[in-house]
Chain A
Amino acid sequence: MTENLTVSKLRARFPEAITSVTEFRDEITVSVKREAIVPVCQFLRDDPDLAYSFLVDLTSVDYLEYPQKEARFAVVYLLHSYKNNERIRLKVWVEENDAVVPTVTGVWSGANWLEREVYDMMGITFAGHPDMRRILLTEDWVDHPQRKDFPVFGKQDPVVRIKGFEENFDK
C-alpha cells in the first residue's frame, strides 16, 4: 500500500509533530502535536502540491469515557483541497486542565467564529485569538454545555432572573 501523498509530505516535513495517522474508509486522520498545529496548517495550505485552501470545519470532541483516547478533548480540523479534491482531518489532543490550543485564525480567518464556538460549547481556549468571547450563549453562562459531564439542566440558577426587571413571576 502506497502512503498517501499528504501524509508522506507531512511526515517528511514534520517528523516530530505527527503522533499518529489512522485511515478508515479512505478517510485520513492525522494527530498533530499542539505546538505544531499552526505550521502544519500553514504548510498544508501553502504547499503547491497539496493546496488545502479550505477549512471546512473546526470543531471539538469530548472523549470523556472513550477507551482509545490520547487525551480528554480533541480539536478537529477538517480541510479540503479544491486542487486535488481531497480531504484530511487533523486532530489536536488536549487535557482538561490545560485546554489551550494555538489559534489558526492567521491561516484561515474563517476559523475565528469556529474557534469561538468551540470555546463556548467545550471550554477550550485558543491562544492568540483576536476575540475570544462566547458566540452562542449569553456572557454570564456557567460552564460549557457540550462537555459530556455537563448536567442536562445546566449549572445556572434554575430561576430565570432578568436584569432590569425585578418582578419575578417564577413562583
Chain B
Amino acid sequence: MGLEDRLPEGIALTTVSQAVSWARENSLFPLLFGLACCAIEMMATFASRYDLGRFGAEVYRASPRQADLMIVSGRVSRKMAPIVRQLYEQMADPKWVISMGDCASCGGIFNNYTIVQGVDKIIPVDVYVPGCPPRPEALIQGIMKVQEKIMKEGIKGTNK
C-alpha cells in the first residue's frame, strides 16, 4: 500500500527514532564493575556459555564514559554509594540501569545499618532482576527488558 509499493527492491522505510533505538538496543555497552557475588553470575553471563554477545552487549567498558548500561551487581554499602552515584553521573546519556539481585533491589538479606536498602535510593533504576543471585538467564532477560524499553521510549524519551 502507498509509498512502500513504489520503492525499489532492497529499500525499507522507518523513522529516525526507530532506527536509532534499534541501533542502541543491539549494541549496549555495560559498565565493567561488580559489587558482590552477583558479579560472578554477571561474568558467567558474558562468558562463552551464556554469551551475551548474542544480544550485542558483550563488550564491557571499564570507563563509565564509554558505557550506556549500568548493571548494579550486588549490595551497595553506604560507603560505596557515592562512588556508584558518581559512576552513574559520569556515564553519557542515554543510559540505563539494571538492578541485579535482591541486595541491589531492596537490600536483600542485609537489612542493616551499612547497606543501602535498594540502589534506587541513589540512582534511577530501569529494570530489577530478582534472585539471590539471579542465574545468567535471568540477567539476560533483564537485558532484553532494557532493550524493549529502549525500543519503546525512542530517541525523545531518553533525554532524562
Contact = CB atoms under 8 A, between A and B. Distances in A.
B112 A152 contact: yes
Q: In which size bucket is the chain B interface?
A: 10 to 19
Interface stretch (B25-33, B63-71, B120-128, B132-140): B120-128
A152 B113 contact: yes
Contacts of A138: 78-79
B122 A169 contact: yes
Interface stretch (B11-19, B52-60, B81-89, B146-154): B81-89
Interface string A136-171: 011000000100001111101001101111000110
Nearest to A158: B117
Given A137-B79, A138-B78, A170-B121, A165 B85 contact: yes
Q: In which size bucket is the chain A interface?
A: 10 to 19
Contacts of A137: 79, 114
Contacts of B114: 137, 145, 154
Contact of A153 (B79, B82, B112, B122): B112
A153 B107 CA distance: 12
B15 to A, nearest CB: 32
B158 to A, nearest CB: 18
A60 B50 CA distance: 47
B113 A156 contact: yes
Q: Which 6 A-B pairs have the closest CB atoms?
A: A154-B113, A170-B121, A162-B82, A162-B85, A160-B121, A152-B112
Interface of B: 78-79, 81-82, 85-86, 89, 111-114, 116, 120-124
27 contacts: A137-B114, A138-B79, A145-B113, A145-B114, A151-B113, A152-B112, A152-B113, A153-B112, A154-B112, A154-B113, A154-B114, A160-B116, A160-B121, A160-B122, A162-B81, A162-B85, A162-B122, A163-B82, A164-B82, A165-B82, A165-B86, A165-B89, A169-B121, A169-B122, A169-B124, A170-B121, A170-B122
